Structure 1
Amino acid sequence: MSEEPAASPARDEDVAIDHAIDRLAERFPSVARTRVEQIVDEERRRLDGGRVRDFIPVLVEHEAKERLRREAVPAPLEEVMDGGGARRAESGGREDDPMERQRRGEHTGLLQGDAGGGR
């Protein structure tokens, strides 16, 4: 009977960071994925000295999200949640005008610690 080895904490952290990159890239579609990866990597390196690693992915994602908000307007949550299908269906399949997208993107709602509302 063979047992699979338990995932290492470092591997778990890597997976969590990869998921954070995916979420941020989807949330900020106007920012190149390589830029999102760069910001996440910089934030992760800033926290490398920490001995308690459990919260590193959450802290990295939070700081990266704040930096991305200063660089770009996030996609509206409804587009992130359903891949934009509902919004395109409402508009008859055509893309919204940029000003309308920006207006909808100004309110990000409550998601992963956005309760403070301060940007």
Structure 2
Amino acid sequence: MDAEHESQEIEDVVARVHARFPDVSPQDVREQVRAELGRHGDATVRDFVPVLVEHAVMDTLRASARPTDLPTEAS
């Protein structure tokens, strides 16, 4: 994967993650994506880096999301 194609893939990742987590600003999503991308900086095979980055960022955001759809316990 060339650098230009990877850059477009990363922008697509930012858009998809932001669509799934609209309460998180696009800037915050982009920062998390860049941080995760840095963890894969030494990868020799780059084809799967955008997918790995997307999954890691989504996992992080899911873990930090507040559970709003959970039923409350009755007293």
- The percentage of counterpart residues that share the same residue type is 36
State TM-score, norm by structure 1.
Answer: 0.54
Letter in 1 for 2:51: V
Q: Which runs of 4+ in 1 moved over 3 A?
A: none
- Based on CA coordinates, which of the two structures has the bigger radius of gyration? 1
| Structure 1 gaps, min length 5 | 1-7, 74-101, 107-119
Partner of 1:56: 49
User: Contact 1:31/1:72 (CA < 8 Å) preserved in 2?
Assistant: no
Deviation at 1:72, TM superposition (A): 2.1
State TM-score, norm by structure 2.
Answer: 0.83
Aligned CA RMSD, in angstroms, stands at 1.8
Q: After the TM superposition, which residues 9-28 of structure 1 pair with which residues of structure 2 at under 5 Å, given as runs?
A: 9-28=2-21
Q: Which has the higher contact order (CA 8 A, sep 6+)?
A: 2
| Structure 2 gaps, min length 5 | 71-75
